[in-house]
Amino acid sequence: MKPHSYPYRDNPNITLVDLPGIGTPAFPDLDTYSEKVGLETYDTFLILTNERFTEYDLELAKSINAMGKSFFLIRTKIDQSEGSENRKRQPDIKAMLERIRNYLYEYVKDFGIGKEKIFLISNHDRDKCDFSRLVEAILEALSTHQKEALTMSLRILSKDVLKRKVEVLRNNIWQITVLFTLALPLRRALVDLSGICEKLRRPFLPGEDFIALETTVLVPGNFAMIIVGEKAKFFRSQLGLPEQNSDEFKLLKPEFQERMRDFYIEEKKTKRFFDKLTDEMMTPLWFKFIFHSLHELVNKMEALSLDILEETARGN
C-alpha cells in the first residue's frame, strides 16, 4: 500500500495524504515506515482511530514530535458511541465522552502526550465534541502562510473559524489598497494588454449590462469598482453569504435578506462617489476611501454571518 494524495477541493495548494498504517508486512517497523513514506516531507499529522491508539500510533507520534512537527490524536465515530449511550436507560453523553477521553489517555500518558492532544470528533455532526477545537489546534500549529491558506479554505463551521477568516481578510485589506493605488498609473497599459479584454468585460453590479473595456479601465469610478466589486464578492463567499437572489439567498429570513442587500447598495454608493473624483484628486482619496470601504464591508458581513450562524445553531 502506498500513500494516496488528495488535493483539497477548496484550495489546490493544500494536499491531504492518506498514509498506510504501521505493522504490516510492507511496513513492519517505524524505521522502515519513516523511510518509505517520507515522514519528513509532511507539515502536520492526523493520527486517527475509531477505538484506541496502538503502540505503533504512539511510537509514530513520538517520532513526529522528535522532528519538531505537530500531530493530533483523533478518535472518530463519536456519533456511534453517542447512539449506543442513548439506548441506555439513563444516558449521560457528557460522562460517556469523558470515559472515552480518559480511556485513550491511559494509552498515551506514558509517552508524554497530554489530554489536549486527544480530539473526539464526528463527521456527521461537526458542531459537537472537539471538531472546532481540532481546527483551531491545526491552524495554530502551521506557519503564517499555511495558516492563512487553510483558514481561507475552511467552510464556516463555527464562530472561531468565522473570526479567523475575518482576521485574515482584514490583514489583507491594506495589501489590496496599496496594489490598487500602484496600479492607477497603469490603466492605459491594461487596455493594450493582449487577452485582458474578455476578463474585464463583466457587469460589476446586479442588473447592469457589460461595459466596454476602455470605459471600464480608464474611467476612475469604473476602475475602482473592479477592486471594490470583486473584493466584496470574495468577502461574501469567504464568510458564507449567498449572492443576491440566489436560491440560498431566498432561504434567508427577510431581515437577513435586507441586510445582505445593503452590501450591494454600499457598492452603488461607492461607485457614485468614485465617479466624482478626477485623476488629480486620486491617489490620497483612493487609498483612504477604498481602505475604509473594505473594512466597513468586512465588519458588516462579519456581523451578519455571526447572526446567521447563531440562527442556524438554534434550528430556526
For residues 129 and 251, state if they share a domain: no
In a domain, 147, yes or no: yes
**Given this model, what pLDDT does residue 83 score?**
87
**Given this model, what pLDDT does residue 54 score?**
84
Looking up residue 27, the CATH number of its domain turns out to be 3.40.50.300
Contact call for residues 203 and 229 (beta carbons, < 8 A): no
Per-residue model confidence as pLDDT tens for the chain (316 residues): 678 888 776 666 778 899 888 888 888 888 888 888 888 889 889 999 888 888 888 888 888 888 888 889 999 989 888 888 889 888 898 899 999 999 889 888 887 888 888 999 987 776 678 888 888 888 887 777 777 677 767 766 677 788 888 888 888 887 777 766 666 665 555 544 444 444 444 443 333 433 444 444 445 555 566 667 777 788 888 888 888 778 888 888 888 888 887 776 554 555 555 555 555 455 566 677 778 878 888 898 889 888 888 877 666 4
**DSSP code of 26?**
S
CA distance 84 to 220: 64
For residues 253 and 220, state if they share a domain: yes
Distance of CA 203 to the CA centre of its chain: 27
Contact call for residues 111 and 130 (beta carbons, < 8 A): no
Q: What residue has cell string 452603488?
A: 268
In a domain, 160, yes or no: no
309 SS3 class:
helix
Write down the number of H helices and E strands in the chain.
14, 5
Q: Pairing relation of β-strands 70-75 and 118-120? A: parallel
In a domain, 158, yes or no: no
Of the candidates 293, 306, 2, 7, which has an alpha carbon nearest to the alpha carbon of residue 149? 7
Choose the final residue of a domain: 91, 126, 153.
153
254-275 helix and 220-238 helix, angle to the nearest 10 degrees: 160
Which domain, by its residues, includes 26?
Answer: 4-153
Contact call for residues 155 and 185 (beta carbons, < 8 A): no
Residues 6 or more apart whose Cβ sits within 8 Å of residue 155: 10, 161, 240
Q: What angle do CA 114, 152, 222 make, to 5 degrees?
A: 160
In a domain, 26, yes or no: yes
Q: Pairing relation of β-strands 4-7 and 15-18? A: antiparallel
Choose the final residue of a domain: 119, 153, 187.
153
**Given this model, what pLDDT does residue 222 score?**
59
For residues 120 and 197, state if they share a domain: no
220 C-beta neighbours (distance < 10 Å), count = 20
For residues 29 and 102, state if they share a domain: yes
In a domain, 163, yes or no: no
Q: How far from 143 is each of 44, 104, 138, 253, 312, CA to CA, in Å?
A: 11, 29, 10, 39, 32
**Given this model, what pLDDT does residue 45 score?**
92
CA distance 306 to 162: 8
In a domain, 162, yes or no: no
For residues 118 and 232, state if they share a domain: no
Q: H-type helices in 109-203, by residue range?
A: 131-141, 144-153, 159-183, 187-192, 196-200
For residues 307 and 183, state if they share a domain: yes
As for how many domains the chain has, the answer is 2
Q: Which residues of 133-147 are buried (b: 16+ CB within 10 A; e: fewer)?
A: ebbebbbebbeeebb
Q: What residue has cell string 476578463?
A: 199
For residues 268 and 147, state if they share a domain: no
245 SS3 class:
coil
Choose the final residue of a domain: 128, 153, 178.
153
CA distance 229 to 300: 15
In a domain, 71, yes or no: yes
